[in-house]
A and B are shown apart, each in its own frame.
Chain A
């Protein structure tokens, strides 16, 4: 199993999961020099995260929550740095290979990139990693451990946005596109699902062509809800899709070798259906807003296309995308519901006494 083959051969034979562990240095250099993200503010559409990164991020954010509560006060916000690179195989994707917590807490009112302490730690960390890692720091993550509410708290506040813009201005032109991850640890615990979103900021001269477009592409007519969900700078940044990858070796060892014993038990002890109610509510809300936007959009689009009937049906794609999204969400929820009910029934049969 020794990989003693020539680089091109190895690349072709590499299974999909491990493709991200290969590094085509020449291609990466070219990509960094070309810097297509400088011309297109929305160049990057997704990030893909390694298991060690997501685990470290979640654990660090949770430790901030625990620490704050232990001290008898509010959960503490934490932050850290991300290691990775742009993906040369799938353009528009950023690979996050690792995450490193920073010893800095409670900074929502400060612009972090100015902090000397942070910068010093970053420099030392960067130097210590040079011996073994080729990736660079290309992003930061932080937590929003605000109280549970109807919406996720994954958004960029004004301070966050300023920080992210500063990073982007410093790093993007040098071939190092920077990304921001925001975690909602309380919601993650509640839904047993990592509540994490990735964002990039628009440069000041760029404005989204779609009016009142939210970072995730949806149209939100209610000012208040928009502010709650996305903060005051809702039109100055956009959301990237979050995906995950895992190497074949990790999967073999962790999933097949080690946690096989405990993972299967987890599927028997799943969240009770009551926890899905908030999700149902949010999906229902999304549906209502999608319906609203459809009405608003078609009212406007109907007017426009009446004037220039030769124009292609441009208003349609973003809205049908949104429909698709909502429909997918609804069907996912329905499947989950069905699975939950089946689980409950089977548990009743196998485990209950005297039914």
Chain B
């Protein structure tokens, strides 16, 4: 994502929670679809809330100075959160963003670190990550190279379930296939790295070696225990069908009893049910 501003790389790592990003994307959809109080072409922006370099949450802004009550209300529940930055959903950082960053920083977090997060949603084809962070430099916004996504169990559970229930249902086996495909992709990258000419970083080599020590198949060993696998699968299937059969048998017997059809043969006796309805 080419930015027209000069930027240098800095070393700080920002940590972001998915909640902040979901807020941004939902806000964007809301504004563009017209169900927000703002006009459909309004800039989509807001404040980032967090603590200790971690961004937890975000709140919408309609103008730059009317959010103070919402921040205070948020802090009534989470007193440890501060305004640590602001965000905009746009494809590039424009020249006015620098001034806006300065303004907002002086308003909410003077003398403290303040970031600008830029979220790109328009670009269908881009392979790059849609989120980037900037900090105030002397003349221009500096891009922060490192940022990472982090989550906690409650958030993860909610997000995963939301994703799974709201999209097309993918079976767990498909998930598994996908996971192994991901592993394979990464292994191929490692392979390319190892096959290249030139000196290799010993630290990386050591890590690769430890990886292969714990994954014999990845190192070329084939599945030795085919028969064990098949037996295990067979056993699982048998257990499952056994359980299902017993349940359906009981259901059938009860249905027969309820609709007062004369039970065929000795069915009702077999399941030990009273048949005098």
Binding site for B on A (CB under 8 A): 1, 3, 7, 10, 14, 17-18, 21-23, 49-52, 54-63, 97, 100-103, 121, 124-125, 127-135, 185, 188-189, 192-194, 243-255, 257-259, 262-268, 287, 291, 294-295, 298-299, 301-302, 323, 327, 330-331, 334-339, 341-343, 345-346, 349-355
Asked if A125 meets B73 with Cβ closer than 8 Å, knowing A59-B155, A254-B21, A291-B250, the reply is yes
Residues of B within 8 A of A63 (CB): 78
A–B pairs, 10, beta carbons within 8 Å:
A17-B166, A18-B33, A23-B34, A51-B159, A55-B162, A97-B26, A97-B30, A253-B119, A299-B277, A338-B240
Residues of B within 8 A of A57 (CB): 158
B225 nearest CB neighbor, chain A only: A355
> Does B129 contact A132, Cβ atoms closer than 8 Å?
no
Q: Which 9 A-B pairs have the closest CB atoms?
A: A23-B35, A62-B154, A298-B258, A339-B172, A58-B158, A247-B29, A267-B175, A250-B25, A103-B76
A1 nearest CB neighbor, chain B only: B122
A263 vs B155: C-alpha distance when bound (angstroms): 13
* Distance of A66 from chain B, by nearest CB (Å): 9
Asked if A267 meets B216 with Cβ closer than 8 Å, knowing A124-B73, A132-B60, A334-B243, the reply is no
B192 at the interface (CB under 8 A from A): no
Residues of B within 8 A of A255 (CB): 163, 167
Q: Count of A-B contacts with CB under 8 A?
A: 258
A317 vs B122: C-alpha distance when bound (angstroms): 49
* Distance of A16 from chain B, by nearest CB (Å): 10
* Distance of A24 from chain B, by nearest CB (Å): 9
> Does B214 contact A351, Cβ atoms closer than 8 Å?
yes
A282 vs B233: C-alpha distance when bound (angstroms): 26
B38 at the interface (CB under 8 A from A): yes
Q: Which of B3-11, B107-115, B176-184 contacts A (4 or more CB under 8 A)?
A: B176-184
Binding site for A on B (CB under 8 A): 18-19, 21-23, 25-26, 28-30, 32-38, 40, 57, 60-63, 66-67, 69-70, 73, 76-78, 119, 121-122, 124, 129-131, 149, 151-163, 165-167, 171-173, 175-176, 178-180, 182, 213-218, 223-225, 229, 232-233, 236-237, 239-240, 243-244, 247, 250-251, 254, 257-258, 260, 277
A133 vs B31: C-alpha distance when bound (angstroms): 9
Contact of B129 among A22, A258, A265 (CB under 8 A): A258
Contact of B19 among A56, A102, A248 (CB under 8 A): A56
> Does A323 contact B121, Cβ atoms closer than 8 Å?
no
* Distance of A1 from chain B, by nearest CB (Å): 6
Further pairs besides A21-B26, A249-B29, A295-B254: 8, Cβ < 8 Å: A10-B33, A55-B158, A193-B161, A253-B119, A253-B130, A267-B178, A287-B247, A334-B244
Residues of A within 8 A of B70 (CB): 125, 128-129
* Distance of B64 from chain A, by nearest CB (Å): 12
